Amino acid sequence: MRFVLLSLLFVVTVNLFNAQTTDDTLKYKEMNVITIMGPNSKLLAGSGMVINELTLAKINQPDINKVLRMIPGVNIRDEEGFGLRPNIGLRGTPVNRSAKITLMEDGVLIAPAPYADPSAYYFPTFARMQGVEVLKGSSQIKYGPYTIGGAVNLLSTAIPYSFKGLIQGGYGSYGTNQQHIWIGDSREQFDYVFEVNRIASNGFKQLDSGGNTGFDRRDFMGKVRWHSLAEAKIQQSVTFKFVRSEEIGNETYLGLTFEDFMENPLRRYSGTQKDILNMNHSLFTLSHAISFTSTLKVNTTAYLGHTFRDWARANSFGGQSINAILSDPNTNSVGYGIMTGRTDGDIIYRSAARTYYSRGIQSQLTKDFRSGRLRNLDHRIQVGGRYHEDQADRYGTQSTYSMTNGIMVMKTAGINGNQENQIRNAKSASGFVNYEIGLMKFKLTPGLRYEYIEMEFQNYGTADYSRVGTNLEKGANFLSVWIPGATLFYEINKKMNAFFGAHKGFSPPGMPSVNSTNGQAMEETAINYELGYHFNGDKLSIQAVGFYSDFANILGSDNISGGGAGSGDMFNAGRALIQGFEFSMDYNFKSDATNLTFPIRIAYTYTNARFKETFVNGGGDWGSGQINSNDLIPFITPHQGMFSLGIENYKFNMTISGRYVGLTRTKPGQDEIMIPESNDNFAQVNSIAAYTIFDLSANYYINKMWTIYSTINNFTNNQSIVANLPQGYRPAMPIAINLGVKVNL
């Protein structure tokens, strides 16, 4: 009964009616860009940042990894070089497959199954986005289920206020090309925008056996909206949005041994010639927005998502595991020979087909009013809820190939489901209340979130292909959690403000365990604090925030993408402490003598992340064996920074940016740093060296309609190691030049 009652609540994820327009005839319309931070992020009672459409147009960057590095507090592990499947963490949360943050597009959850199977193997094509928001700290308590680190909201192309469109085409290194078209208009009562985007590449990796190592991704998005007439007493609108995305990627999990990396960092082994990713994604949303009065508004969205992903790839060579071969190719020389195509032998090849479903309904009521004897108290009450269901259907197949003279030939085709045959289901009902009260220069915002989650796990086993249930193993998990938080905001003057926030963070514990040696994981919780300062001047903006997160039972996972065995099990590691400092600065210097503007941006993050209990780890990207109290948590970079310098006027702009990623531990510990230098000490390697990569972007405006642009990514051609996961060392994308044209309709 409790679950049914909670499902009647509706959630907040968007504020649609805060925007203002310059045309009185458009005042009835909701804000076209659906945000989680509101129209004035500079007055946010907490820490967050927006990268807007103007900035994205200047840097011409389709890789979200490069864009998010502009924001302090974001941790990223690069993987395939194009940013198609980013590994994102916020304030020290694990980066693996972005599974521990709340991901949204236009305020709607976008991970394929955020509760049942949260690894974000699908991520929207960033090249079609007009902005991105990152919200951290206590102010993001409204956006679950992952409320420890924060939330990322992608802003898709908005319906324009009048007829408008864009035609964009680009071509560059490695056959990388993009075609992007959108067109939209707002009429008396019906508005629309339709968009087509394709981005593809031959890839920069060099396959031993030859062939394409790139990808081809295509997207189609549309929004159609009906709204009431401008003179209607009650303003409302209904918006239907749909997204369809398809991708074929010649991508692999397998990297390189250190010795092979040093010889040719762009090499790909022959044993990966059949590795391929096949993915498609569909999302439908129906949103209703109604403004009963100027101070009472309700926004409701129903959504339905479907994602299919099959990442087929080599799993072992000559009976030897990939991790064993990479760790010691000399001892495992037979497997290494097959992997490189120099020796004939058998290859175990696994197709990891997974079908995801998600659906739900979410809504928010917002009420603004004033009270007090002098009407000097400002109030804003937000009440919302969300009912959500998702499912992950895993149906993996194992086959055998034979490596013959460097070419993989099918030897035995496996029966579908003979490797993985399970269904993961989750249901959630969540609700929240957020109350903002302001008096003079103070604003206090207490909030409370509630999550009730049901999880069910069905493992049919690898012999029950038809899912009769002969050897069915079941598990169920139910949990409920209250998540309180509060922020105190003080406006020092019109340009400066300070804030302090405290909130309880939460992450779901994953699927119920039926055979894990670690037992059932408990939900991850943390008490989080932040203290921040904003300065917002005409030319200078500064944000400085200190954060402190005290974890009660931090969660780890066993996934191949994180270096584990791939069971998908979650496990607890006890107490942990993550603390640090974030700083960002934007400054616009204008030279009156030359009529040039020089925008400068700086971002820096310091993070100290340590386990605070001694325990025996169950695997995954924390490794196996004993981990001691005060050991550093791996893959959380202590020092990282970004800077950019621009030069611009009304005819052109150019931006040079550099991103610094400091030394990063790849194993827990507190001992001497050992970076990869030779295979002799591979077992002792516990870190990846720091690196810096520089990019350049330029735009020349021929006229109001035509723009020519160019980007040079990694123009110093830095070939540093950027990751050692999923399997082996990986390089940064080498120097890549791209030229293109934009036509604004």
pLDDT tens, position by position, 274-303: 999 999 999 999 999 999 999 999 999 999
| pLDDT at residue 76 tops 60 | yes
Decide if 744 contacts 704 (C-beta within 8 A). Answer: yes
The token duo for 94 is: 């694990």
How many whole angstroms separate alpha carbon 657 and alpha carbon 646? 8
Kind plus residue range of the DSSP H or E element containing 337: helix 333-339
DSSP 17: S
Length of the chain: 745
Averaged over 160-169, what is the pLDDT? 97
pLDDT score at 6: 39
pLDDT of residue 584: 97
With a CB cutoff of 8 Å and minimum separation 6, the contacts of 243 are 105, 124, 156, 219, 220, 221, 281, 282, 283
The number of folded domains in the chain is: 1
Mean local confidence (pLDDT), 76-83: 94
Residue 13, pLDDT score: 30
Mind listing the pLDDT tens digit for each residue in 563-585? 666 666 777 888 999 999 999 99
Query: Rounded to two decimals, what is the model's pTM?
Result: 0.93
Give the distance from CA 723 to its chain's centroid: 17
Asked if omega into 726 is within 30° of 0 (cis), the reply is: yes
Q: Nearest to residue 108, comparing CAs of 124, 128, 85?
A: 124
Per-residue tokens: 168? 């964009």
Rounded to an integer, what distance in angstroms lies between the CA atom of residue 438 and that of residue 629? 43
pLDDT band with cut points at 50, 70 and 90 for residue 664: very high
The pLDDT of residue 23 is 39
Q: Tens digit of pLDDT for each residue in 100-146?
A: 999 999 999 999 999 999 988 899 999 999 999 999 987 678 999 99
Percent of the chain with pLDDT over 90: 82
CATH number at residue 181: 2.40.170.20
Q: How confident is the model at residue 623 (pLDDT cuts 50, 70, 90)?
A: confident
CA distances from 523 to 149, 558, 686, 688 (A): 15, 16, 29, 31
102-105 and 150-156 strand pairing: parallel
What are the start-end ranges of the E strands in 318-412?
320-321, 345-371, 377-404, 407-412
Query: What pLDDT does 62 receive?
Result: 95
For the cut 60, the answer to whether the pLDDT of residue 29 exceeds it is no
What is the average pLDDT score of the chain?
91
The pLDDT value given to residue 73:
96
Three-state secondary structure readout of 158-207: CCCCCCEEEEEEEEEHHHCEEEEEEEEEECCCEEEEEEEEEEEECCCCEE
pLDDT band of residue 9 (cuts 50, 70, 90) is: very low
pLDDT of residue 16: 29
**Is pLDDT of 12 > 60?**
no
Q: How many CB atoms lie within 10 A of CB 354?
A: 23
pLDDT at residue 517, as a whole number:
58
- Which pLDDT score, from 0 to 100, does residue 513 have? 77
Say if residue 360's pLDDT is above 80: yes
Examine the pLDDT at 27 and tell me if it is beyond 60: no
**In whole angstroms, what is the distance from residue 26 CA to residue 32 CA?**
11
Backbone phi, then psi, for 554, in 5-degree steps? Answer: -60, 145
Give the Cα separation of 207 and 213 in Å (integer). 7
Confidence band for 52, pLDDT divided at 50, 70 and 90: very high
CA-CA distance, 558 to 567, in Å (whole number)? Answer: 6
Q: Is the pLDDT of residue 445 over 80?
A: yes
Tell me what percent of the residues of the chain surpass a pLDDT of 70. Answer: 92
DSSP state of 103: E
Q: Are 366 and 15 in contact (CB under 8 A)?
A: yes
Residue 267 lies in domain: 2-744
- Residue 581 parent element (H or E): strand 576-591
